[in-house]
């Protein structure tokens, strides 16, 4: 045993260890091409170092020649895999250069392996010498064959390829990889080849150190590769950490995750999602199973939204109901995003969802309350109109009574004038209709109902409001001037709800005259169409106006300046107009009175 028989096997052992570690990584979870090339080159250097030791210890020419021939195989493998490593690890370099170098080298080494005479390296004589520590070694005197030129050309091409790939990476702003990997490959290629030539030419008297040079290359490559592995480990640790954080956030927000794999139609769901949908942990979920859980009324909508998102890659966002055996009905709000291949083909859809039942129920309750309040407002407003309307109702009822009495009187005649009686009955009929209309208007206003949008003519709406307020206005000596312009488009609205708003505004205007000595009390209602495709209804009076700075506050609930006011008329009116997609605002006019403006979108003219 001497230092030589220790050093070379150590090179072999080191290379084998590195090769095995990287083989494990290359075939681990993530298949990594650079690790595979590294493994191959490390195995090859391990073999080269054993063969090199064999040559250094060979006693006869024949065995030395055999070893030289066999060394062709690991040399070819090592060189080509180093080229492959640079190409896959750098992601740079001219591929044709690498191919050309690998091809020429493989050809030269194959020729060297197969030939029994001089091809690339052929020993013609052995020189026995001694090196420090009195260790004997053998160096062959080499004669070169014609394939040597091919091999030299291949090595030159390989060096050019590595240098060029390193330079490209350097220009991209990366310094470490090109310097350590690229630099060491170029330097040690040159050093090992140079040294071997000098030894074979007898210029330098020392053993071969080819495997040591390549061990240095292997270590440089391994160092950079392990850097990648460390980075990946750190990244996976950070990923795990962020996953924990995300899980915690999802749990506290009760957010459920889901992923729909389109190829297999399998839907992966997180534990929270599974609980929300009352699914067993082992149960497989696919699209059909998901649709089954949906409320029948929502199935089409959800399917349509999902199909659309898949078709145009847009975001999916939907609220829907699910029907569950234990919890009954549940409201879910879901969002999702489509993931596609680089060619744009959708592969999966990933998203989150949460239970929004409490919010939905509160919304529903609120809307019911709002509806009840609106109705209450209407009933209270009717109370104000009731005496005037009773008065209006008195008119036809009185006429009916008088006409009936007259008819009775005529019928008592021995020869009743039937023509007269017929005319009286016709009058009774007319008055009855009039009374019926007053009652019907009242009844429709008192009925509780949801907002239902239908195409409406503004003038007819204003006519009805006039009919309802005429008697009250007359009693208060207020002149009602209602002048809709002639070219008004239709609007989409709910007749009863809009009547409520207009009545409220007209009654408020009339109320504003209370205790106000005015020569002429005037309430003007106008309606015009605007350039923006909407209709503007103005209710203006010449009364006291709205107090300074209160044009906003009057819309607050319970704001009132009246002794018997509720302060709910205007907020209810604004809610109704906004539910129609319009707006209600107040201001003071130039002549001191208040002006309320309702703006409602017109029905779009059919193209
Ligand atoms: P209420 O009629 O019960 O007071 P409203 O919400 O309808 O409730 O009106 C709120 C307040 O707005 C009224 O009390 C009044 O002070 C003011 N207001 C409404 N309309 C007019 C108007 N045309 N002129 C002056 N003030 C008005």
SS (H, E, C) 136-200: EEEEEEEECCCHHHHHHHHHHHHHHHHHHHHHHHHHCCCCHHHHHHHHHHHHHHHHHHHHHHHHH
Are residues 477 and 563 located together in one domain of the fold?
yes
Residue 281's pLDDT band, with cuts at 50, 70 and 90, is: confident
Are residues 190 and 77 located together in one domain of the fold?
yes
Q: Whose CA is nearest to atom 26 of ligand 1?
A: 546
Nearest atom in ligand 1 to 571's CA = 6
CA of 551 to the centre of ligand 1 (A): 10
The two most distant CA atoms of the chain are separated, in Å, by: 167
Return the structure tokens found at 100. Answer: 């050309």
Does the residue 60 lie in any domain?
yes
φ, ψ dihedrals at 481, nearest 5°: -120, 110
Q: What percent of the chain has pLDDT over 70?
A: 96
CA of 475 to the centre of ligand 1 (A): 20
**Residue among 552, 570, 574, 585 to mutate when testing ligand 1 (max atoms within 8 A of CB):** 570
Contact between 527 and 535 (Cβ < 8 Å)? yes
Nearest to 502 by CA among 535, 531, 542, 454: 535
330-336: average pLDDT: 94
CATH value at residue 341? 3.30.450.20
Does the residue 443 lie in any domain?
yes
Nearest atom in ligand 1 to 559's CA = 10
Does the residue 237 lie in any domain?
no
Are residues 23 and 69 located together in one domain of the fold?
yes
Are residues 376 and 349 located together in one domain of the fold?
no
Nearest to 254 by CA among 360, 361, 354, 357: 354
Helix %, strand %, coil % of the chain (to 5):
60, 20, 25
- For 502, residues 6+ apart whose C-beta sits below 8 A from its C-beta are 461, 462, 465, 525, 537, 539, 598
Return the structure tokens found at 223. Answer: 């160092």
480-503: average pLDDT: 88
Examine the fold and report which residue of 323, 355, 387 is the final residue of a domain before the chain moves on. 355
Does the residue 248 lie in any domain?
no
Per-residue pLDDT for 587 more than 90?
Answer: yes
- For 550, residues 6+ apart whose C-beta sits below 8 A from its C-beta are 559
Q: Please tell me the least confidently modeled range out of 211-215, 456-460, 487-491.
A: 211-215
DSSP structure class, residue 182: I
Are residues 505 and 443 located together in one domain of the fold?
no
Are residues 603 and 474 located together in one domain of the fold?
yes
- Cα–Cα distance for residue pair 350/313, rounded to 1 Å: 12
CA of 368 to the centre of ligand 1 (A): 25
Beta bridge partners of 527: 484, 537
- For 318, residues 6+ apart whose C-beta sits below 8 A from its C-beta are 301, 302, 305, 333, 334
Q: What percent of the chain has pLDDT over 90?
A: 42
Domain residue limits at 504: 452-607
Cα atoms in the 13 Å half-sphere on the side-chain side of 366: 7
Q: Whose CA is nearest to atom 8 of ligand 1?
A: 567
CA of 578 to the centre of ligand 1 (A): 19
Q: Please tell me the least confidently modeled range out of 9-13, 46-50, 76-80.
A: 9-13
Nearest to 542 by CA among 483, 500, 480, 474: 480
Are residues 94 and 184 located together in one domain of the fold?
yes
Per-residue pLDDT for 309 more than 90?
Answer: yes
Give the C-alpha distances (Å, rounded to integers) separating 229 from 30, 185, 235.
Answer: 11, 21, 10
Does the residue 239 lie in any domain?
no
Exposed (0-12), middle (13-18) or buried (19+): which is 52, by Cβ within 10 Å? buried
Does the residue 241 lie in any domain?
no
Are residues 29 and 71 located together in one domain of the fold?
yes
CATH value at residue 29? 1.20.1070
CB-CB neighbours of 521 under 10 Å: 21
Q: Whose CA is nearest to atom 27 of ligand 1?
A: 546
Exposed (0-12), middle (13-18) or buried (19+): which is 297, by Cβ within 10 Å? exposed
Examine the fold and report which residue of 320, 339, 355 is the final residue of a domain before the chain moves on. 355
What is the residue whose two structure tokens read 């709406």? 461
Contact between 124 and 143 (Cβ < 8 Å)? yes
Per-residue pLDDT for 605 more than 60?
Answer: no
CA-based R_g, the chain, Å: 49
CA of 541 to the centre of ligand 1 (A): 12
CA of 560 to the centre of ligand 1 (A): 6
- Residues near ligand 1 (Cβ within 6 A): 504, 508-509, 512, 541, 543-546, 554, 559-562, 565-570, 594
- Cα–Cα distance for residue pair 376/68, rounded to 1 Å: 107
Q: What is the pLDDT of residues 8-46, one digit of tens each?
A: 888 888 888 888 888 877 777 555 788 899 999 999 999
DSSP structure class, residue 282: T
Return the structure tokens found at 381. Answer: 């407003």
Residue 478: strand, helix, or coil: strand
What counts of helices (H) and strands (E) characterise the chain? 17, 14
Does the residue 506 lie in any domain?
yes
**Residue among 373, 507, 508 to mutate when testing ligand 1 (max atoms within 8 A of CB):** 508
- Cα–Cα distance for residue pair 45/52, rounded to 1 Å: 10
Using the Cα atoms of residue 562, residue 568, residue 573 and residue 575 in order, give the sign of their dihedral.
Answer: positive
Nearest to 152 by CA among 85, 105, 215, 100: 105
- Between 393 and 411, residue with greater pLDDT: 411
Per-residue pLDDT for 482 more than 80?
Answer: yes
Does the residue 182 lie in any domain?
yes
**What pTM was computed for the model?**
0.48
State the chain's mean pLDDT as an integer: 87
Exposed (0-12), middle (13-18) or buried (19+): which is 513, by Cβ within 10 Å? buried
Are residues 10 and 155 located together in one domain of the fold?
yes
Are residues 566 and 593 located together in one domain of the fold?
yes
CATH value at residue 531? 3.30.565.10
CA of 555 to the centre of ligand 1 (A): 9
Q: Which helix (H) or strand (E) holds 351?
A: strand 346-355
Q: Whose CA is nearest to atom 19 of ligand 1?
A: 508
- Cα–Cα distance for residue pair 62/127, rounded to 1 Å: 14
Residue 599's pLDDT band, with cuts at 50, 70 and 90, is: very high
Contact between 472 and 523 (Cβ < 8 Å)? no
Per-residue pLDDT for 391 more than 80?
Answer: no
Examine the fold and report which residue of 389, 424, 450 is the final residue of a domain before the chain moves on. 450
Contact between 272 and 255 (Cβ < 8 Å)? yes
CA of 561 to the centre of ligand 1 (A): 7
Per-residue pLDDT for 423 more than 80?
Answer: yes
Nearest atom in ligand 1 to 509's CA = 23
Q: How far is CA 61 from the centre of its chain?
A: 74
Q: What is the pLDDT of residues 526-547, one digit of tens each?
A: 999 998 889 999 999 999 999 8
Return the structure tokens found at 266. Answer: 């399998």
Nearest to 177 by CA among 93, 247, 112: 93
Are residues 56 and 205 located together in one domain of the fold?
yes
- For 545, residues 6+ apart whose C-beta sits below 8 A from its C-beta are 512, 588, 589, 592, 593, 594
Using the Cα atoms of residue 388, residue 393, residue 395 and residue 398 in order, give the sign of their dihedral.
Answer: negative
Nearest atom in ligand 1 to 567's CA = 8
Contact between 571 and 557 (Cβ < 8 Å)? yes
Q: Whose CA is nearest to atom 13 of ligand 1?
A: 560
Give the C-alpha distances (Å, rounded to integers) separating 171 from 94, 160, 185, 186.
Answer: 15, 16, 19, 18
Per-residue pLDDT for 553 more than 60?
Answer: yes
């Amino acid at each position: 045993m001497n230092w030589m028989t220790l050093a070379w096997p150590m090179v072999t052992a080191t290379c084998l260890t590195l090769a095995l570690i990287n083989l494990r990584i290359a075939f681990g979870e993530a298949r990594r091409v650079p690790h595979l090339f590294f493994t191959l080159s490390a195995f090859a250097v391990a073999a080269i170092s054993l063969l090199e030791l064999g040559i250094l210890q060979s006693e006869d020419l024949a065995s030395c020649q055999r070893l030289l021939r066999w060394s062709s195989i690991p040399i070819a493998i090592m060189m080509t895999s180093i080229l492959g490593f640079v190409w896959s690890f750098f992601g740079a370099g001219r591929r044709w250069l690498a191919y050309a170098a690998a091809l020429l080298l493989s050809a030269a080494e194959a020729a060297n392996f197969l030939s029994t005479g001089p091809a690339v390296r052929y020993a013609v004589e052995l020189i026995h010498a001694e090196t420090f520590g009195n260790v004997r070694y053998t160096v062959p005197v080499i004669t070169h064959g014609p394939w040597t030129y091919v091999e030299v050309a291949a090595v030159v091409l390989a060096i050019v390829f590595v240098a060029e790939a390193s330079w490209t990476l350097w220009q991209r702003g990366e310094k470490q990889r090109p310097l350590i990997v690229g630099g060491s490959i170029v330097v040690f290629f040159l050093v090992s080849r140079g040294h071997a030539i000098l030894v074979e030419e007898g210029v330098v008297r020392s053993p071969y150190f080819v495997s040591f040079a390549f061990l240095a290359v292997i270590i440089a490559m391994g160092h950079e590769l392990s850097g990648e592995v460390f980075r990946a480990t750190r990244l996976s640790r950070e990923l795990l950490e962020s996953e924990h954080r995300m899980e915690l956030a999802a749990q506290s927000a009760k957010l459920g995750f889901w992923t729909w794999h389109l190829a297999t139609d399998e839907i992966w769901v997180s534990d929270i999602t599974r609980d929300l949908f009352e699914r067993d942990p082992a149960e497989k979920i696919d699209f059909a199973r998901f649709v089954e859980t949906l409320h029948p009324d929502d199935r089409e909508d959800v399917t349509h939204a999902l199909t659309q998102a898949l078709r145009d890659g847009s975001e999916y966002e939907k609220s829907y109901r699910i029907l569950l055996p234990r919890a009954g009905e549940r409201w879910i709000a879901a969002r999702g995003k489509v993931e596609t291949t680089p060619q744009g083909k959708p592969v999966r859809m990933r998203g989150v969802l949460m239970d929004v039942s409490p919010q939905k129920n509160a919304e529903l309750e609120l809307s019911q309350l709002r509806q009840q309040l609106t109705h209450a407002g209407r009933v209270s407003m009717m109370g104000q109109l009731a005496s005037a309307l009773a008065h209006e109702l008195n008119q036809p009822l009185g006429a009916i009574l008088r006409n009936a009495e007259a008819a009775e009187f005529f019928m008592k005649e021995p020869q009743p004038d039937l023509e007269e009686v017929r005319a009286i009955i016709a009058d009774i009929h007319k008055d009855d209709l009039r009374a019926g209309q007053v009652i019907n208007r009242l009844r429709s206003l008192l009925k509780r109902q949801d907002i239902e949008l239908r195409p409406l003519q503004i003038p007819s709406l204003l006519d009805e409001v006039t009919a309802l307020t005429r008697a009250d206005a007359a009693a208060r000596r207020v002149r009602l001037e209602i002048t809709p312009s002639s070219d008004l488009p239709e609007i989409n609205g709910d007749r009863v709800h809009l009547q409520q708003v207009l009545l409220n505004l007209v009654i408020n205007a009339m109320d504003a005259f209370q205790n106000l000595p005015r020569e002429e009390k005037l309430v003007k209602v106008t309606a015009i169409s605007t350039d923006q495709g909407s209709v503007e209804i103005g209710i203006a009076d010449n009364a006291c106006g709205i107090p300074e700075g209160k044009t906003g506050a009057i819309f607050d609930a319970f704001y009132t300046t009246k002794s018997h006011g509720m302060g709910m008329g205007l907020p209810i009116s604004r809610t109704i107009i906004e539910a129609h997609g319009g707006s209600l605002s107040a201001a003071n006019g130039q002549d001191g009175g208040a002006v309320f403006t309702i703006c409602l979108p017109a029905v779009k003219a059919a193209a």
